[in-house]
Amino acid sequence: MRESMQGATPWRQSEAQRQWSVRWRRWRGVPYVAPWCIGFLAFTLGPYLFSLYLSFNEWQLLGPIDYVGTDNYKQLFDDPLFIKSLVNTTYYTAIHVPGLMILAFAAALLLNEEVRFRALFRTVFYLPSITPGVAAVILWVWMLHPTGIVNTFLGFLGVPEDARPGWFASTDWAMPGLILMSFWGIGSMMVIYLAGLQGVPQHLYEAASIDGANWWQRLRNVTIPMMTPTIFFTMIVGVIGSFQSFASALIATEGGPANATLFVLLYLYYQAFRYFHMGYASAIAWLLFGIIMAFTLLQFALARRWVHYEG
C-alpha cells in the first residue's frame, strides 16, 4: 500500500505545506480533546463559578440578583436546621464509612480464601451495589416497615413487639435504618479490596508462616500494612460520597421524621427548589465543599503516619 501511494503522489511538499503539516502534527490532538473541554466549561467550570457568585447574592430565581456579601454564610451558622443537617450527615458518615469499610474488607478476606463457588458468592455480594438506588431504597423501606420482614425476623429472635425498632417511622431509628440499608452496597468497595488482596506478595505470607505467625498475626502484620494504600483510597472516596448522600434519605424519609435524617444536600435541595433561595442554597453547597476538602486534606496529612507504600 505504501508503494502504491508513493507511486501515485510523485510530488514534493512545498516549504509551506511542510510547515503546515508539522504544525498540524503538533496540535492534532486538539480536536479529540476539544469536546470534553467545551463540556467541562459548560457543565462543570462555568457552573462552579456561577455557584460561587450566587453564594454571595440573594436570588429567588425570578427578579433581580441582589448582592449580599457574606450574609448567606453568616446566616448558615445561625440556622438550626443547617446545623442539624450537618450533625446528621456527620453522624451518618461516622458510622456508614467505617462500617462499610470493615464489612467490605471482611467479605473480601472471605472471598480471597480458596473456596468453592467463589464466583457465585462474589456475585451475591457485588450485585446489590449496582442495583439502581431508588429501587434498592424502596425495597428496604418495604423490608424495614414497622411490621415488615426485618422486624418479623427480630420477632423470631425473641425481640418483643414493643421493643422492635420503628425504623423510618422513628426519630431514633431512621438514621440507623439508612445506615443498615447502606451496608447492602458493600460490593464495589469489596471488589477493590479483593484486587488489592490479590496483589499482596505471596512470599510475605510464607515468610510469616515460617516465623510461626498465626492467622491474626498475618492479617495484622502483613495483609493490613500492605493494604493501607487501598484502604486509604476507599476511605477518601467513601467520605466524599457519604457527605453528598441525598437520594436514600429523600426517598425513604424525605428528611424526617422531625428532620432526623435531614442531610446537608437534602437541605440544599429544599432551600433551592422548594423555597427558591438560590443564593443561600449555593452557600450551603460551598460550605459543604469546604468541609469535604478540609476532611480530604486532613486525611492526606494523616496518611503519612499510617499509609505504607512499597518501594
Using CB under 8 A as the binding rule, the residues of this chain from 199 to 238 that contact another protein are 215, 230, 233, 237-238
To the nearest whole angstrom, how small is the minimum distance from the Cβ of residue 284 to another protein? 9
95 vs 136, beta carbon nearer another protein: 136
Beta carbon of residue 113, minimum distance to another protein (angstroms, whole number): 5
Site for another protein, residues 94 to 113, rule: CB under 8 A = 106-107, 110-111, 113
For the chain, how are helix, strand and coil distributed in percent, rounded to 5?
A: 75, 5, 25
- How far apart CA 171 and CA 173 sit, in angstroms, is 6
Write out the binding residues for another protein, residues 10-29 only, by CB under 8 A.
Answer: 26-29
Does residue 36 touch another protein according to CB under 8 A? Answer: yes
Burial zone of 38 (CB within 10 Å; 0-12 exposed, 13-18 middle, 19+ buried): exposed
Q: What is the distance between the alpha carbons of residues 27 and 102, in angstroms, rounded to a whole number?
A: 48
Site for another protein in 59-78 (CB under 8 A): 61
CB-CB contact of 213 with 221 (8 Å): yes
Report the SS3 class of residue 78: coil
d(CA 143, CA 205): 42
Residue 61 DSSP one-character state: S
Contacts of another protein in 111-130 (CB under 8 A): 111, 113, 115, 119-128, 130
Applying CB under 8 A, which of residues 7, 16, 32, 216 lies at the interface with another protein?
A: 32
Q: Is 132 in the site for another protein (CB under 8 A)?
A: yes
CB 102 within 8 A of CB 189: no
Q: Which stretch binds another protein (CB under 8 A): 11-19, 76-84, 133-141, 218-226?
A: 133-141
Q: Would you say 141 or 260 has its CB closer to another protein? A: 141
Selected from 67, 273, 275, 306, the binder of another protein by CB under 8 A is 273
| Those residues with Cβ within 8 angstroms of residue 20's Cβ, 6 or more apart along the chain or in another chain | none
CB of 242 to another protein, least distance (A): 10
